[in-house]
Structure 1
Amino acid sequence: MNTKKSYTVTEALTKMQRYCAYQDRCHKEVTEKLKGMSMIPEAIEHIINALIADKFLNEERFAKSFVRGKFKYKKWGRKRITMELKLRDISPFLIKSALKEITEFEYLQSFHELAEKRNNQIKETNLLKRKKKLADYLLYRGWESHLVYEKVNELVQ
């Protein structure tokens, strides 16, 4: 027996307005949510157009807040942020524009603080393993490889 709730377009629109008001969303997230609510493609298109018209949905605003949040709180580098935005179907132009939210000074300062903090947390005594652990950590977080290897060689001697 199928117990999945069905929604009218008006109910789904109201639900999506609350969903988008809670935090900035991209078109892909909203579309996936509506598909999960078993909405038909015409209804999805109508709801998304209504959300855009009412300024609940804005890809540029989403991209900028995403960049600020992931950089400031998760300490992600530009490569990881770019990759995650591409996964959300954000255009290259918007990605480039959103990455301007991070100043070069803040970026490098955050990188150095993160690298030093992580280096102090690593208990490994073997220098090569220590370098690998630090480099892997920083690369996973999306920092550029030339910065990572330069910093690893500086910190681990």
Structure 2
Amino acid sequence: MLCVPRMRNIVVLETKKTVHLDKRSALLKAEHYCAYQERSQQEIRDKLYEWGLHKNDVEELISELIGTNFLNEERFAHAYVSGKFNIKKWGKIKIKQGLKLKRVPDKMIVKALNTIDYDDYLAAILAAAEKKAPTIHEKDAFKKRFKLTSYLMGKGFENDLILSVLKNNNLS
């Protein structure tokens, strides 16, 4: 349900209408949905259920999308890892959690994460640390290092790599 303010002090509740599509139009719409951007099987499954399809039809359409290469879980995992690392500068832990939420198989997650270059990964940790360090206004060096480490862990980087990068670059 959506709360939409209409007039002063009056709120009208509107329900989100579910679209009911037949199997053929759902396939066409799903193909367009997949062509626009890489999608996980779970995203497509959720969307098909949202469109009012039943379990057998949903699984059949997913199989057809895989067969026509509109849907490819491995390609999705690689695109997700690439985007989240190169654009958002997330660490491997946060990326892995995101892929798990999309129900990508563990083997594909590991394979996709292994495409991240180790030197680029360390450089991303260093860049994030150098950008954040001046914004932390803390006199106590231990507290400052703790806050910086916490920030980097929040971005999904591993604690041992964070400590190593901070130590090697005199940021700790």
Question: With structure 2 as the length reference, what TM-score do the two structures score?
Answer: 0.82
Partner of 1:99: 113
- What amino acid maps onto 1:68 in structure 2? S
User: 126, 129, 153: which one pairs with 1:112?
Assistant: 126
Partner of 1:53: 67
The Cα shift of 1:125 comes to: 3.6
Partner deviation per Cα, 1:19-62 (whole Å, 9 max, x = no partner): 11111101011111111122100110111011111101000000
The Cα shift of 1:2 comes to: 9.3
- Number of equivalences: 156
Question: With structure 1 as the length reference, what TM-score do the two structures score?
Answer: 0.90
Matches within 5 A, 1:21-100: 21-100=35-114
Q: Which has the higher helix share?
A: 1
Partner of 2:171: 155
**Unpaired segments of 5 or more residues in structure 1?**
none
Give the percent of matched residue pairs that are identical in Structure 1 and Structure 2: 36
Distance 2:47 2:134 in 1: 42
Contact 1:134–1:152 under 8 Å retained in 2: no
What RMSD in Å do the two structures reach over aligned CA positions?
Answer: 1.9
- SS of equivalent to 1:155: coil
The Cα shift of 1:118 comes to: 1.2
- Where relative contact order (Cα < 8 A, 6+ residues apart) is larger, the structure is 1
The Cα shift of 1:3 comes to: 5.0
The Cα shift of 1:15 comes to: 1.0
Q: Which has the higher strand share?
A: 2
Distance 2:160 2:97 in 1: 18
**Unpaired segments of 5 or more residues in structure 2?**
1-14
Q: Which has the larger radius of gyration?
A: 2
Residues 10-19 or 131-140, more deviating: 131-140
